[in-house]
Amino acid sequence: MKGTSFDQRSAAAILRKNDLGAYTVPTHGLYPYQWSWDSAITALGWLHVDESRAWLEVETMFQGQWDNGMVPHILFHGDTESYFPGPDVWGSQQTILSSAISQPPIWATVVRILFENASDQSLATQKVTKLLPGLTAYHRWWYRERDPENTGLVCSYHPWESGMDNSPAWDAPLRNVPLVDWSYQRSDLSHVDHDQRPEKEDYDKYLYLVDFFKECEFDSNYIYRHCPYKVLDIGIISILHRASSDLLALCTAISNAEKTEELKSCFRQTEEAIDRLWFKEKSCFLSHDLLTAARLEEITSATVLPLFAGLPSAEQADAMGNLLRGWIDKTAYALSSTHPASKLFEPKRYWRGPVWLHINWMIAEGLIAYDMPELAEELKNSSRRCLYDAGFWEYFDAERGNGCGGEDFSWTAAIALHWLGE
């Protein structure tokens, strides 16, 4: 598809190609099930193709919500033999087989966009009314289970939970995680070249954590005390905060009877605590390792996501804008997921450098909110160039613009429909 221009029809065709009826796979082969934040972003694309299908995408994901409120990062619908690690490795024993961790909680933000842009407001009101209890339970789960000490900052127990699996920001906290001591066969390498995927040592540690959760029977109190990986992930914190703002707006719009005072209190706590993660010398917010109290000093696309959440002060936002002005110009395609000045920057290895269009959309949304539309437009134009030059790939080489990962990718097509279409 290199050199082929994109249009609404070609993007919509990819959603239909990856549609399995009630949910959309990210791409066939590499990701054969329903991933949480992939599915949420994909729903934005369905809004421009088939409004009722967008709502079904949300409803299907929330059918797999755990009793404690967690929305797992993978739902294993149907055959479970074609992906590793599958439900037998996770061992969660849910009615709908699933993983045992979550992913960046962007669902309430997506549902608000669907609601406010719906052509059928009667249907939208009905759907949101039905979804609000699950969305509220999900946010309460994050604040209760991942911030039991009420600090205002939720934590992550697995790099996969960040959605930015092998980001160099996680290298230091992963050093505390042992390697898994059993052999396994990765399925991803049968679909994608090794130089675009996480290294084996990373995967060994990812799987150790999966086994750890299963061995402690998913006991949240035990995991909080003993998990060898515990990170204040600025990306998750930012996306949760933005989503909580959107969730509260939905509750107001629907006149929902759900009590929201608890959510409002958690929301305020995050606003009061966020400056703990600000690092003036790097002009951005940084994740922290909770086990060592160390600042994780890699500048990545996650470190500017607080713009999307409305968390920075005006002065902080200006500093982040200046950071982004230089960053965008350092690679042929923007925004690289790791700052190219880093010694750990790799332009085509998953989250260590490539461009991801859904992240560009979130950052651009934040830039517009902070009155930096010219920077937002630069990100939009660079994102279009990725599509024009390569097609609808999972992510893009920041130096060459080549498509990487999975081809005909749902969330890339969805972002093209929702954000990049003329």
Catalytic residues: 165, 394
Average pLDDT of the residues in 392-415: 98
Greatest Cα pair distance, the chain, in angstroms, is: 54
Predicted confidence band of residue 3 (pLDDT cuts 50, 70, 90): very low
DSSP sequence for 216-263 = TTT-HHHHHHH-S--EE-HHHHHHHHHHHHHHHHHHHHHT--S--HHH
The closest of 7, 69, 75 to 40, measured between CA atoms, is 75
For residues 348 and 395, what is the distance between their CA atoms, to the nearest angstrom?
8
Average pLDDT of the residues in 20-38: 96
Q: Are 72 and 98 in contact (CB under 8 A)?
A: yes
Position 412 scores a pLDDT of 98
26 vs 32, 57, 87, 224, CA distance in Å?
7, 12, 18, 31
At residue 312, does pLDDT exceed 90?
yes
Verify cis geometry, omega within 30 degrees of 0, for the bond prior to 85: yes
Question: How far separated are the first and last CA of the chain, in Å rounded?
Answer: 20
At residue 48, does pLDDT exceed 80?
yes
Average predicted confidence (pLDDT) for the chain: 95
pTM (predicted TM-score): 0.97
Position 422 scores a pLDDT of 62
Percent of the chain residues past pLDDT 70, beyond the cut: 97
Pairing of strands 231-232, 74-75: unpaired
Question: So where are the chain's domains?
Answer: 35-331
CATH number of this structure's domain 35-331, picked from the four choices 3.40.50.20, 3.30.420.40, 1.50.10.10, 1.10.1060.10: 1.50.10.10
pLDDT in tens, 213-265: 999 999 999 999 999 999 999 999 999 999 999 999 999 999 865 679 999 99
DSSP sequence for 201-214 = HHHHHHHHHHHHHH
pLDDT in tens, 85-127: 999 999 998 999 999 999 999 999 999 999 999 999 999 999 9
Position 147 scores a pLDDT of 98
